[in-house]
Structure 1
Amino acid sequence: MESSDAELDLQRSVQAVLRELGAQAPALQSNQGMWRWSLHKKVERDPGKSPALVRILLRELEKAESEDIRHAIIPLLHTLMYVLTKATGITEELYRRTYTFCTRLLTLPAPYCTVALDCAIRLKTETAVPGTLYQRLVIAEQNLTSELYPYQERAFLFVDPELVSPSVCSALLLELEAAQVQQTPEACMRHVVAHALQAALGDACHASALQRKLQASPRQALERYFHAVVAAVEQMASEPSPSREGHLERLEEIYCSLLGPAAAARGRCGGDPLQSPQPNIPLPSPHITFHLWTDEEQLWKELVLFLRPRSQLCLSADLEALDLQGLWPDRELARVSMLSTDSGIERDLPPGADELPLPGSPEMERARLQRKGGVKKRVRLPDVLMPACWDGPPGLHRRTGRPSGDGELLPGVSRLHTARVLVLGDDRMLGRLAQAYHCLRKRETQKCCLTPRLSLQLYYIPVLAPEKQASCRHSELRELATFLGRADPWYESTVNTLCPAIHKLAEMPPSLDTSRTVDPFILDVITYYLRMGTQPIYFQIYTVKIFRDLSQHPAEDIFLTELKVKIQDTKPPKDGFSPRRRGAAEGPGAELNICYQKALLSHRAQEVAVSLRATGLVLKTFAASDTEVPGPAPAPPPAVPVTDHTCLNVSVTEVIKSSNLAGRSFSMVTNTFRTANIQIQSQDQRLLTLLLDKDGRRTFKDVVRFEVSPCPEPCSGAHKSEASQLGSHGQEVEGTNAKPKPLLMPINTFSGIVQ
């Protein structure tokens, strides 16, 4: 009866999560994000409910598949995988049912097949070697030393102190510090050993006695058991056809050495009937470092320190002086062409350099005619500096998909180090992140020190600062978060609802009772987002050239979401500024000369030039319909240039002059069009003011002319020009293939763009 009541309670919680996905009522929307969190907490407090919850989630997934309720498939699948990562005691039959279901989803379009493939790869190993997912996750997130699994992860939480209130920063910092105090390396190693043994042995494992033994073990003995368990799990998981029986035998030996033969024999006989309920093995939250974003190069500096070996770590104020040679995984990448100083003939080598054949032997005769390699030149490939793991595969504007890395050591993993950069704020913070991402890519073209070893993942949680302005200002500052929520309903339900919860947390007084156990809701949701948000959506970065004087070189900057243009008051003309045209109509605004390339579905270049009087312009990367129709067009083949589909949505407030019996009058009309490139120049004495990404700190005044175009990859132009000169057989090819690829910034979500 109790088991039936527990399953009914779990069933009601799962139904609440499903109702929340399509919730329209304000009462349900106010509690969004809490149902999933409370469901996982129920299983965490009572691990024995895990198999029942897995069965319930599988039934709901099969029902969603049969009834074609696709919007529920990915949220349920993520919830199921999160439970399977933590749980012990899951039968092999449940694992196989889940794996079979994921393979059936491979026939669906993206992103369903993409998420299902990722889950199927992990489930295949977990089915044969239970506990693998938990062990690898803890080792990577807590940076535990292991030769068999050398992957390391670090989560960086960046907050702009000018955009987020000090109370929110303090609350987040206190919650992160409280979690890190309990997650010592010893505690994490105990969790890994206990979880692996319970997952493999099941009811034969005396869990309480095992926990007490591990708690009493000294550091040296604990490390020995930890490395033995990791070796057993990783060696079995690396086999082509792992045997669950063989894995069980190896862990039984470790279990006997821990508790002794008597306890092991009692476990094989069915365990202790008076044994207390199965103790909980927590899954520690990732190692998250908190940073106030005050330095323009702070992101690059933190990533360099993360990649530095601990033995060579130098906390210097000037990170430019750091010796980055230790960051190269392959010295071949840094090798420079060398010129031989000898004659290049083998027989001219000095004695003792190599063992020479005997005189008169056939080897000696052949050596007289052989030449030594003189000049060795490394062939530069088009994409050697910027592999696909940084920005994912080529795709459309705001394309979704999983980055495809090369040289993968494990399925789905392409680099030893993973940096998960999480930013809190609004669209202004994302504009600053785009600047840092662009500078990072440019720096890598000069000295490639991060790319070969680092997989960079970007995450975003919208947090709006409390302002006294109208609520419409808040909606303007969270346009990208609104798009992400419409594109991915699970992101809307889980992440977009954190903004009010974070402010409530900041307003609560700190608890002085350190003995009371508190469930950190904000940290738990951040952890869930970092672990399960694996599907990025790509956003085009735009570059703007700003002319304050037409006779001088322009200043350059980039923006991600918006560029707003205002007309300044009349000022004396500068040198090089075109004089005011005779007969220009008096009235508001300024005469603008606009030249742009029309965005057409046929991909044909159509230039449009027009002169008009306007009071302002707004260039947005989001159209009004983007929040209603999230799906992009199908991806073109790899050989098709992808920049043709990127477009800006331009709104021009035009001044229309009319004459009647009462005199001249002016009316305002808003014209909109889409373009990929645009150049705007003022023809009057009126100058322009540019505001980038809604950030008042990024304002450019006294502008005469500006040009906007998709930002290219910092390295793609040079590499494409080299690749276009010589083909694969040394023949010249046409320069049309040298078109630079656009620079796309990925932001991770749970599903990507749901079609």
Structure 2
Amino acid sequence: MESSDVEQDLQRSVQAVLRELRAQAPALKSNRGMWRWSLHKKVERDPRKSPVLVHILLRELEKAESEDGRHVIIPLLHTLMYVLTKATGITEELYQRTYAFCMRLLTLPAPYCTVALDCAIKLKTETAVPGTLYQRLVIAEQNLKSELYPYQERVFLFVDPELVPPSVCSALLLEIQAAQGQQTPEACMRHVVSHALQAALGAACRADALQRKLQASPRRALERYFHAVVAAVEQMASEPSPSREGHLERLEEVYCSLLGPTAAARGRCGGDALPDRPPSIPLPSPYITFHLWTDEEQLWKELVLFLRPRSQMRLSADLEALDLQGLLPDQELARASMLSTDSGIERDLPSGTEELLTPSSPEMERAGLQRKGGMKKRVWPLDILMPSNWDGPPGLHRRTGRPMGDGELLPGVSRLHTARVLVLGDDRMLGRLAQAYHSLRKRETQTFCLTPRLSLQLYYIPVLTPEKPASPRHVELGELAAFLGRADPWYESTVNTLCPAIQKLAEMPPSLDTSQTVDPFILDVITYYVRMGTQPIYFQMYTVKIFFSDLSQDSAEDIFLTELKVKIQDSKLPKDGFSPRRKGTAEGPGAELSLCYQKALLSHRTREVTISLRATGLVLKALPASDTEDPHTSSPPPTVVSLTDHTCLNVNVTEVVKSSNLAGRSFSTVTNSFRTASIQIQSQDQRLLTLWLDKDNRRTFRDVVRFEVAPCPEPCSGTQKSKALWLGSHQQKETERTKAKPKPLLMPINTFSGIVQ
């Protein structure tokens, strides 16, 4: 195929992706996600197309920048970065243009500047040291041992067998096993060596001869080449000003040792005819473990097992103290420091050195910082307390932010492990994930063993039951997925399309022949999502305290993420029950309820409202409605900007209205809606309440007379409680006086861009 034909074919595919982002017709929506996947497959099968595709994508990005077409910038930028990660033979000029474009995006508001900054950091290293992104990705995802790059990642795929059909579980498991059966450590090391040499040497690299040599190399020799290439790339990438020429020289030495100086020189001089199509170097899918979620503590156990092989880690003294067995705050977390007893005016210099040290010497500067005669005092390490949020800054409801990544939490302690927890299901599965996340954070306040070592990333792919897409139950269980699609159009186009695709895959007969080369669409989209979905959207979790009609029964506490539904039971309290029916109350449908809530105001001022009404039920939703905000008004549907509203619950009460006429009394219902930050509801007559959390019938509470809902606070750390023992009385009073309100607990779900304004 001629170069002009290749460019036209790729241009048509890119235009199809752009039309997909603007598509409103159902015919185009049905194929969403396929265009992006097929575009990447074209350059994967023929690596020569990569520079052409990079040029086309960069041209479309610059066009969108000049025409202010921001809605396509982030999808095109993610597509471009995914191509650059796999590609070889990209010219330095294309790298520089892409880097300059990302730097220009830094003047835009979030999330554009956030995504652009992440891409610019990667491009700066990739420009000087080609192949760095590919090498680091494979090493981390495949858990290859490397002292210069010790980071490890793993994807934990959780499926609730009670919510997802067994056919879907079997289809996903077969596809994962078929793909990972060919990804041995030896194959991954060959991919790293071959990709690094081709990216550095370009057309001078004899790719076919190189791959034949690597295939014939024994395990010990292959490991030697792998470590040599990793050392050359990582040492050059760690320099403040890496040199592309120096990087080329180091990899030429490895190339000559592989093929021999004669064959390597002949390849550089063009002695042998190079093949028309260089062999493709695949990017292996990440290491995925499949789990059926049957145990409440399963997430915690799997994360601990992920960190258990400590022989592969180089731990510092601070990290060794944080053992997996737990901590004693007054012993392990207390440090010994020196409290000086001198005045701090005169310098305590060693005897006989005054005449040897010059005033500007480094020894003189260090001597000025020395203290003598100090006594040991145990102080509380403020830098080791539980962080306010696991990965990401604290913020308002559904605000976006950039995760902490591989930053240091303790001196000398880096998060070497990244756990990407991917859940499949509907809103009920996310409610269960919220429970596990809250339990995890609460456990961390006691043991504090995962936080210093682990970067936790949460992902969600909706898989709904095979019902009619337009059925009310089908729409109800997919509310959070619809919210994420409205917040991030690229998530809607790439991830939400997996729901029908997974169902179709499950209906197909399984193929047990893993020798055939297939294109695993579902696995490829999952891989693309966990790799490029780095921008989280934070969701407020809510805690509910429940009081029952049986006074001997203790109150219960639980949390919910999306919805709490209340219905009136047919049963009543006994005559000596909790609250007898008031005199004068007319019998009718529903129950008399007392509502006390704090009205949600944009000014964040406190305004408490107390009302009594008769209702047949009510629903508390933590997500904004997809249609109009107020059913009693004719306001237009909310735009994406409304997704960044402050923390609030949307309460919909089905109120009973009594009317009298000549025919007698009649009752009708009307839905009232309001917003609140917290609410208390109590039954005023003999009617009892039934509560459903997160639409899950397994999380049902019956015989309820009162409940309280409020934003779930950050779990209180045991170290923070013990810290009071170390404070003096004056300092403790000052701390209590300036004590702030507890921070809310936010659960992040990763998307491609966060909330697009």
Q: Distance in 2 between matches of 1:607 and 1:736?
A: 24
Q: Does 1:481 align with 2:481?
A: yes
- Which stretch of the first structure deviates more once superposed, 715-724 or 440-449? 715-724
- In structure 1, the residue corresponding to 2:226 is in which secondary structure? helix
In the TM superposition, 1:120-135 aligns within 5 A as 120-135=120-135
Aligned partner (choices 623, 636, 639) of residue 629 of structure 1: 639
Q: Does 1:376 align with 2:378?
A: yes
Aligned partner (choices 330, 335, 355) of residue 332 of structure 2: 335
In the TM superposition, 1:437-516 aligns within 5 A as 437-467=437-467, 471-516=471-516
The question of whether the paired residues in 1 share the 8 Å contact of 2:329 and 2:718 is answered with: no
The question of whether the paired residues in 2 share the 8 Å contact of 1:61 and 1:76 is answered with: yes
Q: Distance in 2 between matches of 1:324 and 1:12?
A: 58
Displacement of 1:277 in angstroms is 1.6
The question of whether the paired residues in 2 share the 8 Å contact of 1:720 and 1:738 is answered with: no
Displacement of 1:394 in angstroms is 1.5
1:152-194 deviation per Cα after TM superposition (whole angstroms, max 9, x unaligned): 0000000000110000000000011111110000000000000
The question of whether the paired residues in 2 share the 8 Å contact of 1:721 and 1:738 is answered with: no
Aligned to 2:203: 203
Displacement of 1:268 in angstroms is 1.6
Aligned to 2:344: none
Displacement of 1:715 in angstroms is 2.4
Aligned to 1:743: 745
Aligned pair count reads 709
Q: Relative to 1, partners in 2 of residues 1:339 and 1:195: Cα closer, same or farther, differing over 3 Å?
A: closer
1:425-475 deviation per Cα after TM superposition (whole angstroms, max 9, x unaligned): 000000000000000000001111100010000000000122489711100
- Which stretch of the first structure deviates more once superposed, 508-517 or 15-24? 508-517
The question of whether the paired residues in 2 share the 8 Å contact of 1:717 and 1:740 is answered with: no
Aligned to 1:3: 3
Q: Relative to 1, partners in 2 of residues 1:484 and 1:205: Cα closer, same or farther, differing over 3 Å?
A: same
The question of whether the paired residues in 1 share the 8 Å contact of 2:590 and 2:616 is answered with: yes
Q: Distance in 2 between matches of 1:584 and 1:332?
A: 57
The question of whether the paired residues in 2 share the 8 Å contact of 1:726 and 1:733 is answered with: no
The question of whether the paired residues in 2 share the 8 Å contact of 1:562 and 1:618 is answered with: yes
Displacement of 1:272 in angstroms is 2.5
- In structure 1, the residue corresponding to 2:641 is in which secondary structure? coil
Q: Relative to 1, partners in 2 of residues 1:391 and 1:277: Cα closer, same or farther, differing over 3 Å?
A: closer
Aligned to 1:754: 756
Q: Relative to 1, partners in 2 of residues 1:387 and 1:736: Cα closer, same or farther, differing over 3 Å?
A: closer
Q: Does 1:684 align with 2:685?
A: yes
Displacement of 1:573 in angstroms is 2.9
Displacement of 1:328 in angstroms is 9.8
In the TM superposition, 1:559-638 aligns within 5 A as 559-573=560-574, 577-624=578-625, 625=628, 628-631=638-641
Q: Relative to 1, partners in 2 of residues 1:109 and 1:218: Cα closer, same or farther, differing over 3 Å?
A: same
1:474-512 deviation per Cα after TM superposition (whole angstroms, max 9, x unaligned): 000000000000110000000000011111111111225
- Which stretch of the first structure deviates more once superposed, 542-551 or 45-54? 542-551
Displacement of 1:252 in angstroms is 0.3
Q: Relative to 1, partners in 2 of residues 1:575 and 1:78: Cα closer, same or farther, differing over 3 Å?
A: farther
The question of whether the paired residues in 2 share the 8 Å contact of 1:416 and 1:453 is answered with: yes
- In structure 1, the residue corresponding to 2:84 is in which secondary structure? helix
Q: Distance in 1 between matches of 2:377 and 2:41?
A: 64
CA RMSD of aligned residues (A): 3.1
The question of whether the paired residues in 2 share the 8 Å contact of 1:158 and 1:422 is answered with: yes
Q: Relative to 1, partners in 2 of residues 1:473 and 1:484: Cα closer, same or farther, differing over 3 Å?
A: same
- In structure 1, the residue corresponding to 2:379 is in which secondary structure? coil
Q: Distance in 2 between matches of 1:748 and 1:666?
A: 47
Aligned to 1:170: 170
Q: Does 1:715 align with 2:725?
A: no
Displacement of 1:632 in angstroms is 5.2
Aligned to 2:78: 78
Partner amino acid, structure 2, of 1:743: L
1:281-340 deviation per Cα after TM superposition (whole angstroms, max 9, x unaligned): 000000000000000000000000001116599xxxxxxxxx995559999997255999
In the TM superposition, 1:646-725 aligns within 5 A as 646-715=647-716, 719=720
- In structure 2, the residue corresponding to 1:698 is in which secondary structure? strand
Q: Relative to 1, partners in 2 of residues 1:628 and 1:492: Cα closer, same or farther, differing over 3 Å?
A: farther
Q: Which runs of 5+ in 2 are unaligned?
A: 314-319, 342-349, 353-370, 630-636
Displacement of 1:27 in angstroms is 1.6
The question of whether the paired residues in 1 share the 8 Å contact of 2:330 and 2:722 is answered with: no
Q: Does 1:49 align with 2:49?
A: yes
TM (norm. structure 2) is 0.89
- In structure 2, the residue corresponding to 1:659 is in which secondary structure? strand
Q: Distance in 2 between matches of 1:551 and 1:632?
A: 45
Partner amino acid, structure 2, of 1:711: C
1:693-712 deviation per Cα after TM superposition (whole angstroms, max 9, x unaligned): 00000000000100000000
Displacement of 1:395 in angstroms is 1.1
Q: Distance in 2 between matches of 1:330 and 1:552?
A: 34
Displacement of 1:405 in angstroms is 5.7
The question of whether the paired residues in 2 share the 8 Å contact of 1:324 and 1:449 is answered with: no
Q: Relative to 1, partners in 2 of residues 1:406 and 1:39: Cα closer, same or farther, differing over 3 Å?
A: closer
The question of whether the paired residues in 2 share the 8 Å contact of 1:148 and 1:234 is answered with: yes
Aligned to 2:368: none
In the TM superposition, 1:104-503 aligns within 5 A as 104-270=104-270, 272-309=272-309, 326=323, 335-337=332-334, 373-380=375-382, 384-386=385-387, 388=389, 390-404=390-404, 407-408=407-408, 415-467=415-467, 471-503=471-503
- Which stretch of the first structure deviates more once superposed, 24-33 or 221-230? 24-33
The question of whether the paired residues in 2 share the 8 Å contact of 1:546 and 1:556 is answered with: yes
Q: Distance in 1 between matches of 2:72 and 2:309?
A: 43
- In structure 2, the residue corresponding to 1:147 is in which secondary structure? coil
Partner amino acid, structure 2, of 1:146: S
Displacement of 1:274 in angstroms is 4.7
The question of whether the paired residues in 2 share the 8 Å contact of 1:336 and 1:377 is answered with: no
Aligned to 2:364: none
Q: Distance in 2 between matches of 1:251 and 1:283?
A: 21
Q: Distance in 1 between matches of 2:330 and 2:227?
A: 33
Q: Relative to 1, partners in 2 of residues 1:700 and 1:559: Cα closer, same or farther, differing over 3 Å?
A: same
The question of whether the paired residues in 1 share the 8 Å contact of 2:425 and 2:463 is answered with: yes
Displacement of 1:570 in angstroms is 3.1
Sequence identity percentage? 80
- In structure 2, the residue corresponding to 1:392 is in which secondary structure? coil
1:135-156 deviation per Cα after TM superposition (whole angstroms, max 9, x unaligned): 0000000000000001000000
TM (norm. structure 1) is 0.89
